[in-house]
Chain A
């Protein structure tokens, strides 16, 4: 029970922090409004999917260092395919490619018993090379509807389409899984592998599934990169470290078993809006990253302290 309260307290805390940051943005830049929100939601797209994927493997007790590289593979695959064929089948092929890459990551970890951090570090370079093989220099094209799908607002100003894409993409994969046998197995494996095994959970299969889900989210991330830029870029972007940061800030325990996806996604928005604020304030770019890192450590420290205090009571 207390775990549930703590988990929700963390997410609530993050939501409050996000609201405060939005208010600060509005105070600094009174013209900040629907268009600003839309910009932030679009910027958050690739980070949100990378973070969702990372969160799932962290919950199962692992880590995937190859998320950014898998996103690059998916982005170039999308850009190359959409230049040559219809967008919808291309989209499903890309999702399949992402799922397959995640599956390979998971299989290698479970079958070879090499530590996940080593396997996915190696695969970081493998997928990076694959991306360059598919497309040597940035290029290709994306379907117009894909670019339009993340641009602008839905129904009314203030509800960015990009935000809906994030919510839909993650919900359609994670909601059915979370409450299912697989979802429970993922949490059980993450909190205690041996206990999970003794309760009859196929630990290996659960891990493989978690990595495959991560791959699927990376495919969505790659698609959003292609949709944002209109091209495919073979060189991985800064999504690995950013996703780990958002996962930690979002209240997922790095050892596994605890946390959800909502916290990390809110954390993604917090990290994006901090960058917006720092840009609005014209802070020296060399100082910007220091501030970003400091805020992250402070929030996690405060959150941990608060939840420890709550637990003692």
Chain B
């Protein structure tokens, strides 16, 4: 035990020495990350984007990642531990907007910058950076309605009722719908963001034989294409998200006219970039920063080129295909696939 103690002491001393040695005009920020869903492709991409962005930020010397499956009480524990670790900023994907206030307020009282990515927090003074979900739905719906010539019947497949991302997307969808008065929603369902459930729902609707002209789905997309091909129904234009499976279908499935709207997990990398900006005194005017999505469609040559360029066989099939956030992240595709933060071999 004594040896271990000496070992740890030596480690601590050498760690503090190495930080001094690294002084070369750059700031030396330590950033803490807290996330409570492990093993989900989107969240794993988020973590890797955070590591990659921290690696390319010259002012970040250390990244402490608390990344596990836990509840809000566990996230409170992690945030408090990050505060104890003396981080300069905390970038978190909150498990709940209201549950973390005690720890976040404690952090901000110690001048630690708090950036919530993907979802908001209600703690006063925290920055929020997330994908613009309303724009996400608007962009895809508008494209779909234009493909149909502004006239036709569409199937509207939502996510989970009551979840803020679904509510925001619904607002965007309704906005596009209002601009195209001749478009009718003939069928509206909640997929629960479950692949099997969404597939069954479209199977059921195809079985009714009621004709429709297009499908807008809230990210449950490749199984919808599967349902069409398996049941032998003629394909209609489909809008989904930039999930690897769906994007691949856009290039491969004969007769599929569709579009993928980006909802990048790499927004985590943007969160790191924002935290560094704030630490360097370049805080944005608004505490809430929205990242606008991009639409990739396969109906034009330019669109097909974008889709082909985005695909990378080394990319995890569970990840969203868009690995960077233009204007925010600075890492390369290799760096995010590598998933190594500062100080990691």
Are A237 and B70 in contact (CB-based, < 8 A)? yes
B9 on interface, CB distance cutoff 8 Å: yes
Contact (A230, B101) CB under 8 Å given A24-B5, A282-B64: yes
Select one of B12, B38, B102 contacting A151, CB under 8 A. Answer: B102
Contact partners of A284 in chain B: CB under 8 A:
65, 344
Min distance, Cβ A40 to any Cβ of chain B, angstroms: 8
Is B81 within 8 A of A229, CB to CB? no
Contacts of A230 in B (CB 8 A): 98-99, 101-102
Query: Which of B71-79, B187-195, B219-227, B312-320 binds A?
Result: B71-79
Does B84 have its Cβ within 8 Å of any Cβ on chain A? yes
Q: Are B5 and A42 in contact (CB under 8 A)?
A: no
List, in ascending order, chain A residues with CB within 8 A of B233's CB. none
Task: Tell me, yes or no, whether A200 is within 8 Å of chain B by CB.
Answer: no
**Binary CB contact string for chain B from 163 to 174 against chain A (1 if under 8 A, 0 otherwise):** 100000000000
Please indicate the chain B residues that have their CB under 8 angstroms from the CB of A64 in the complex.
Answer: none
Question: What number of A-B contacts does a CB cutoff of 8 Å give?
Answer: 113
Contact A279 B102 (CB under 8 A): no
Q: Report A78 CB to chain B, min CB distance, Å.
A: 13
B96 touches A147 (CB 8 A): no
The chain B residue sitting closest to A229, CB to CB, is: B99
Which residue of chain A is the closest to B38 with respect to CB atoms? A285
CB distance from A248 to the nearest CB of B (A): 21
Contact of A39 among B69, B81, B343 (CB under 8 A): B81
Given contacts A46-B73, A138-B96, contact A29 B102 (CB under 8 A): no
**Chain B residues, CB < 8 A from A39:** 77, 80-81, 83-84
Contact B76 A228 (CB under 8 A): yes
Whether a CB of chain B sits under 8 angstroms from the CB of A28 is: yes
**What residues of B have a CB within 8 angstroms of the CB of A35 in the complex?**
84
Of A23, A43, A229, A279, the contact of B64 (CB 8 Å cutoff): A279
- Chain A: number of interface residues, binned into ranges: 35 or more
Contact A233 B96 (CB under 8 A): yes
Residue of A nearest to B99 (CB): A229
| B68 touching A289, Cβ below 8 Å | yes
Chain A residue nearest in CB terms to B162: A137
Are B98 and A231 in touch, CB under 8 angstroms? Answer: yes
Q: With an 8 A cutoff between CB atoms, is B1 at the interface?
A: yes
Tell me which residues across on chain B come within 8 A of A229, comparing CB atoms.
72-73, 76, 96, 98-100
Say yes or no: is A235 at the interface (Cβ < 8 Å to chain B): yes
Q: B81 and A276: CB pair below 8 A?
A: yes
Q: Name B47's closest neighbour in chain A (CB-CB).
A: A285
| B66 close to A (CB within 8 Å) | yes
Please, how many angstroms separate the alpha-carbon atoms of A285 and B113 in the complex? 22
Query: Shortest Cβ distance from B275 into chain A, in angstroms?
Result: 16
* Contact status B1-A20, CB under 8 Å: yes
- Expressed in whole angstroms, the Cα–Cα distance for A54 and B36 within the complex equals 25
B82 is an interface residue with CB less than 8 A from chain A: yes
A43–B67 touching, CB < 8 Å: no
Give the shortest distance, in Å, between A42 (CB) and chain B (any CB): 7
Check if B9 sits within 8 Å of A27, measured CB to CB: yes
Q: Which residues of A contact B66 (CB under 8 A)?
A: 279, 285
Binding site for A on B (CB under 8 A): 1, 4-5, 8-9, 11-12, 38, 62-74, 76-78, 80-86, 96, 98-102, 162-163, 343-344
Point out residues on A near B: beta carbons under 8 Å: 20, 23-24, 27-32, 35-36, 39, 42-43, 46, 136-138, 147, 151, 225, 228-231, 233, 235-238, 272, 275-276, 279-282, 284-286, 288-289
Top 7 nearest A-B pairs (CB, nearest first) are A237-B71, A229-B99, A43-B77, A39-B80, A285-B67, A279-B81, A282-B64
Taking A24-B8, A228-B73, A238-B69 as known contacts, 18 extra A-B pairs with beta carbons closer than 8 A to each other, sorted by chain A number, are A24-B5, A31-B86, A43-B73, A43-B80, A136-B162, A138-B72, A151-B102, A225-B71, A229-B76, A230-B101, A233-B72, A237-B73, A237-B74, A279-B78, A279-B81, A280-B85, A282-B343, A286-B67
